Structure 1
């Protein structure tokens, strides 16, 4: 049987349908969205299928019935009515100034004028031209207008490490988006997508009627591939693949619906003959995240134990960047579970979604904070991995010592992050997380809080860190009986105390023993 082509890099719905590419049907979700809301907003990480979903909506409103044969919406939608659609996309290219933004907007509005057969009276004023376009489209087609905005926030995110430019660009976008609220009587439906949700006091100040569906359960699967999609639609393409391994590498994103795969990963995994690689991560380098980690002296083991409240929904502010929220909205963290707070309100527990992100993000952080040569880093990672698999504690100690020895001297003097006490534990943690083991930082147990726990297939390592002789690390593990919480896992447990000397910039004391219950 001839398999359908894979839609790698194709975000145009009509091309996918006409040229017989694989399509995971999202039109039932699209219909529910259109019927439920007039103004809606969706936040998802990059390359998650937002652009394709937006283009699907465009074709629905333009009544391209022939493209929807056999899809869920075919018998639900009134194909006799066509609506004028204005599309705005900042997905392509980079904008580095307010001047570039205004030129980009004018170019986008000119494209819409051409497609709708309309001329604006003031093409040099972004807000006046946009409103004129909306009104004239309504008059010409005798139907209210649909507005679809793709990657609404990208011009700001492109400049997030340059606050002055970011604010200027934000003001330009506010000038554009405020037209939507002021044109309510002419609008049938408006949908905006992006990576982040900026605070209502900034970018969304004029759009308080916008419904955020990002964490509504019924829209949890709006973008991406579910496990069911992979096991049905893509089953013929994955013959012989270990599905559990595939899941550990690429599944795990959760927006309160199903656990999801990033489509980019699945398509490239198949296209590259089942080669496990960092497909999604390699498409973007989170440099501004590295700068934020350094600026805040962030204690990296905390990445495994993050809890945030409703700020995750609405707290991206240029003047107050919250690392955990940025990591979530960018796709480097995802929702693990949601619990109720005793004082009321929800608490979102976050986690690294899968092996791809854990390894790639860890490697990127290692290279940034240690400036270690890539070849040396890989050698150390491989040696540590094998030492922990084999319970070779002496080799583990030797590898950690080598790890710090490879960090250039100037890194300790020029890097702010290397000058705080948590640096040593952070380096070890991020190396360990890059190996793919289950790592728990700041592991809270009834007996106390363990600095770091490593869980492999056969062994468990409980690690306590000290700096400059401030306490006996191994004795603390024993006194607090930290191992007690793991005795039911039927694995060998090793207690490891590590002391660092900030003058020598390396391990000064390494003690361990095998736990005997």
Structure 2
């Protein structure tokens, strides 16, 4: 908490408005907390005006999903502290914040979660019970007393009944806001209980939002994917959809989900060492409405907080669905992906307006492109062509290609990682240098004048490849303190996995130095800065590598060491 004498101040630029506090906090979405802690925030309150003044009964807004964080769990726990359910210690310990997006392994687990959530909502409004009829009071009290055993058939209409109670108490209609409306169905599809989940949510949404205008004034649903009306949104004919790629009527919500260039321009002075052009290359690229450019807000907040241009994108449930579909993609899909990775666009792909999860296999490539677009891995440029939005997402694409043997490059990276973890330095060098030439051919990494932007690209690109070692039982650290400095990458085995660790230092060529000499500088830095410090006793062998970059070229040097009984490191023959 800042001192009481601190006063936030406001800056505006065209329609953008930013309220500046002393810092930016990652993950806080509770407005009262943001104001109370005097944090910096972008004023998006005109979203409320657009929503209230629109003629739509139900607005469905589709945007890429952003990650949740530990800070949000803390906020949610504070909100639940005063509720009756907080006294249920066993339930709170087992279920609280375990399903932030209403996702579960089984349908039984999801129904338990639904009971807990709806029971909590009723408990929040328990003060209205005395204004209800005797019958309604019994219904209300029944949920409060036995929410964990409440029948699923009646759970479907619990929110619709609550809307009746609230309208009677306040003498006003309710406004319904549902975030991540599609998350439960995506989870159900991936976990194998789609049919029963679809039946439940179809009943819940229909009872709440269809033929309930006596109690509901308006509703807003936000999610990633436009699910076909033939599925659980069946019957909601009064639904207006606002995806990124369609020019909205009066451009409603076009600039409300995501940061605009003007908003980013206001925020950037918080990081005076970085240029707008570099930030744009990393995080801009999404276009909404009539050519409204948008930045990924999560990445901008992380960048402002940490001060480093890097990949802050986090995979969501959409990624799991995509991976299931990817194995069934055609050869032409693979060829088109290669074009995208070279910086080209796709002109002949049509985004589907509706998708049915049960028939994704029949859609094949068309479904994958649609999922990629809605999940934020693609966007439409001003000519309505599909492109990769920015450097951050392009690096995420490379992680995908690396992890899926369906792609030739994925097979090469798998082999490269095998040789790295086995200590086969010569084979690793050959494959790594080939991958760099192939994969970095379209990045703006320059030559001998490469700057901080290029360094961030190199680091993020390499870390994306090496982090796959986690799937082999290794711990991968990046940019951590050790000895007398901060190493770039350290890969250490978990107990029982192996006895060899790897330390890698990256360097960029400047001042017309040779690649080989600069790579050796990186190798020498590992010993000079004592990056070996802290390696566990189980590590008996150590592979140290220096990698130098110049434009699209790389040079790898290294040596293998082993630890003596005196705990000294000596080079292996």
> Structure 1 residues 367, 380: CA separation in 2 closer, same or farther (over 3 Å shift)?
farther
- Which of 395, 414, 439 is the equivalent residue of 1:359? 395
> Structure 1 residues 325, 35: CA separation in 2 closer, same or farther (over 3 Å shift)?
same
Hey, what does 2:313 align to over in structure 1? 280
Higher mean C-alpha deviation, range 243-252 or range 39-48: 39-48
In structure 2, what is the Cα distance between the partners aligned to 1:218 and 1:10? 25
Note if 1:337 corresponds to 2:389.
no
Partners of 2:175 and 2:217 within 8 A in 1: yes
| Cα displacement (A) at 1:310 | 6.9
- Which of 47, 55, 63 is the equivalent residue of 1:44? 63
In structure 2, what is the Cα distance between the partners aligned to 1:113 and 1:359? 45
Partners of 1:316 and 1:326 within 8 A in 2: no
Hey, what does 1:225 align to over in structure 2? 259
- Which of 144, 148, 154 is the equivalent residue of 2:177? 148
- Which of 108, 120, 130 is the equivalent residue of 2:117? 108
Aligned positions of 1:442-461 closer than 5 A: none
Partners of 1:97 and 1:168 within 8 A in 2: no
Give 3-state SS (helix, strand or coil) of 1:139's partner.
helix
* Structure 2: gaps of 5 or more residues: 1-5, 9-20, 69-97, 130-136, 144-149, 421-427, 448-573
> Structure 1 residues 191, 285: CA separation in 2 closer, same or farther (over 3 Å shift)?
closer
Partners of 2:174 and 2:218 within 8 A in 1: yes
> Structure 1 residues 131, 105: CA separation in 2 closer, same or farther (over 3 Å shift)?
same
In structure 1, what is the Cα distance between the partners aligned to 2:182 and 2:348? 22
Give 3-state SS (helix, strand or coil) of 1:178's partner.
helix
| Cα displacement (A) at 1:296 | 2.0
| Cα displacement (A) at 1:311 | 4.7
The two structures, once aligned, show a CA RMSD in angstroms of 3.0
Q: Deviations over 1:323-375 (max 9, x none)?
A: 1100011111111135xxxxxxxxx4211111111121122222221351445
> Structure 1 residues 190, 384: CA separation in 2 closer, same or farther (over 3 Å shift)?
closer
In structure 1, what is the Cα distance between the partners aligned to 2:67 and 2:51? 18
Hey, what does 1:25 align to over in structure 2? 43
Give 3-state SS (helix, strand or coil) of 1:313's partner.
coil
> Structure 1 residues 255, 300: CA separation in 2 closer, same or farther (over 3 Å shift)?
farther
In structure 1, what is the Cα distance between the partners aligned to 2:348 and 2:118? 39
Hey, what does 1:295 align to over in structure 2? 328
Partners of 1:98 and 1:172 within 8 A in 2: no
Hey, what does 2:471 align to over in structure 1? none
Hey, what does 2:436 align to over in structure 1? 382
Hey, what does 1:134 align to over in structure 2? 163
In structure 2, what is the Cα distance between the partners aligned to 1:285 and 1:150? 15
> Structure 1 residues 112, 378: CA separation in 2 closer, same or farther (over 3 Å shift)?
farther
In structure 2, what is the Cα distance between the partners aligned to 1:310 and 1:270? 36
Q: Deviations over 1:34-56 (max 9, x none)?
A: 1113321111111189xxxxxxx
> Structure 1 residues 159, 130: CA separation in 2 closer, same or farther (over 3 Å shift)?
closer
Give 3-state SS (helix, strand or coil) of 1:107's partner.
helix
In structure 2, what is the Cα distance between the partners aligned to 1:358 and 1:270? 21
| Cα displacement (A) at 1:141 | 1.4
Note if 1:268 corresponds to 2:302.
yes
Note if 1:176 corresponds to 2:204.
yes
In structure 2, what is the Cα distance between the partners aligned to 1:363 and 1:311? 24
In structure 2, what is the Cα distance between the partners aligned to 1:155 and 1:265? 25
Partners of 1:253 and 1:260 within 8 A in 2: yes
Hey, what does 2:370 align to over in structure 1? 325
- Which of 221, 226, 239 is the equivalent residue of 2:272? 239
| Cα displacement (A) at 1:283 | 6.5
Give aligned pairs, total.
340
Hey, what does 2:27 align to over in structure 1? 9
Partners of 2:102 and 2:110 within 8 A in 1: no
Note if 1:208 corresponds to 2:237.
yes
In structure 2, what is the Cα distance between the partners aligned to 1:307 and 1:188? 41
> Structure 1 residues 191, 250: CA separation in 2 closer, same or farther (over 3 Å shift)?
same
In structure 2, what is the Cα distance between the partners aligned to 1:325 and 1:349? 13
Partners of 2:102 and 2:113 within 8 A in 1: no
- Which of 230, 241, 249 is the equivalent residue of 2:282? 249
Partners of 2:64 and 2:224 within 8 A in 1: yes
> Structure 1 residues 18, 144: CA separation in 2 closer, same or farther (over 3 Å shift)?
same
Give 3-state SS (helix, strand or coil) of 1:188's partner.
strand
In structure 2, what is the Cα distance between the partners aligned to 1:223 and 1:357? 18
* Structure 1: gaps of 5 or more residues: 50-88, 339-347, 392-517
